[in-house]
Every structure is written in C-alpha cells, then in structure tokens.
Structure 1
Amino acid sequence: MSKYIIFKAENASTEQWKKMILAHTGACTDILAEHYDSSKRPLPQPGYRLKEYHRIEQFVDPKFPGASTHSRVGDWEVSRVEEYVPDLPVAEFETIVICYCRYAPITSPLEPLPEIQVSQQLQEA
C-alpha cells in the first residue's frame, strides 16, 4: 500500500514559524515533513512524534560531510489524523494522510545515528 503522509503544523506561534522556513526558497511553510511509505506499517496516530536530525561537527564522517550524526524525539506531536483515499483507479497513492501536529516541547536525548553503510556495488561505481 503506497501512502503519502504529510505532517502539518497546527496553530504555530511566531517563534515556531521562524524555524519552518524552506531551505531552497526561504519561504515559510506549515508542512513539517513528508513521508512516502510503501510498508504495511500502521498510520501515525495522535501522540506520535516526529524525529529531529542534527549534525554534530565532532562526529561528522569526512566521507559524508553533510550527513546528520544524531537524532532525537522531536517537539512536534501528532494531534489528529485525516486519511483520504482517491477514487481514481490509477491514483499514484492508495491513500493520502495528513497528520496535524501541535508544538509540545519535550526534553529528549540526542542519540547517535548508525554509521552509514555503502554497498560494494556503489563503491565500485
């Protein structure tokens, strides 16, 4: 089942809007994240929190200088979920899901991400 999942901010304050700027245009957006999911995992439910990714300089792998090094459970929490099923027989997605999120700051530890693995085929290319 192919799902297009959109995480959207609900009732963001001025300070939160400053953090929600598109890198490539500088425009503000209320879309926090988009996921394309073809797994059979259940949809996010209220209470689910997005992960945040961080790059800590002292842990950067020189082979992947722009990659994130750590993650944490984030401050945006899903408050409600809407699911839309297209009625077209040839729709690109079987379902489109909008997860409305509220800003609910928490203190969560930074966790190191696993080392990036490169397959042998990519190394030879």
Structure 2
Amino acid sequence: MAKKIWIVYKAETMSAPGWEERQLMPKGGLTDILWENWSWEENPILPQPGDRTRDYDNLSDSGNGVTHGKDGDWIVTSVHQFSSFDTDLRIVLCYCSFQPITSDWEMLQSGESVSQILEAVEQY
C-alpha cells in the first residue's frame, strides 16, 4: 500500500537568497520553505543529498501551465524523514543551500490535453 509522502524543500537559513519573495499567505509572514510536493507512489524515489531542485515554466506564456524545465539553483544538503504511527503519512524534509548554476531550459514531454482525452472518452 502506498504511503502519502509530503516532500518539503527548505532553505538552510531564513536569510538565504530570495528570502524577500518567500511569504506564507494570507498573512505574508516569511518562510524558509522553497517548494513542496506530494507523492502517493508505491516505491517513491526520494530526494538525496546532492540532488538539485528543478525549475518549471511556460516560456511562451509564463504562469499558464508548464512547458519547460531546468536544474535549479538549490541543492539538497540533508534529508530527514518522519513517519506517523497513526496514519500512512510520511514527511520528508530536504534542507537546501543556494548554489547557482547556469542551466538550459528543456522542453517537457506532454501528453494529450484534457479536452482531447474527454473527447476520446465521449466517443466510447
């Protein structure tokens, strides 16, 4: 059975580069959280020290979906895992340091659009 895994990437310090843009909503308090995601995979591949974060964007229409990805400026320095005794929830904290690099945007593979999938389903 797959566990729910919350993966949180955090800056090693609150004053790490970019701190001015990292705010919690709705109050606007500062945070050291860089990025987070959930996994429900049976055998997830968890981040390891030395892994880089990834940046994603739509190069032709920024903020409207994702078309490209590249290696990010943050590198995982340590990983800490916590599991619940009561539920199937696991939390993975990845502390990161800012180590900027120059990397090229790569076009992401995309499947059919939602409308194309729905049209195909309606035909059956």
The one of 72, 83, 108 aligned to 1:113: 108
The runs of at least 4 consecutive aligned structure 1 residues that moved more than 4 Å come to 22-27
In structure 2, do the counterparts of structure 1 residues 7 and 14 end up closer, same or farther at CA, with 3 Å as the change threshold? closer
Q: CA RMSD in A?
A: 2.6
- Note the residue ranges of structure 1 that are not aligned, 5 or more in a row: none
5 Å-filtered alignment, 1:11-90, equals 11-13=13-15, 15-21=17-23, 26-39=28-41, 40-57=43-60, 60=61, 66-88=64-86
- Write the letter of the residue equivalent to 1:117: E
Superposition TM-score, scaled by structure 2 size: 0.76
Between the aligned residues of both structures, percent identity stands at 34
- Note the residue ranges of structure 2 that are not aligned, 5 or more in a row: none
Question: Which shows bigger deviation, 21-30 or 77-86?
Answer: 21-30
Aligned pairs, number: 116
CA contact (8 A) 2:23 2:31 kept: yes
Query: Which residue in the other structure is 2:9 paired with?
Result: 7
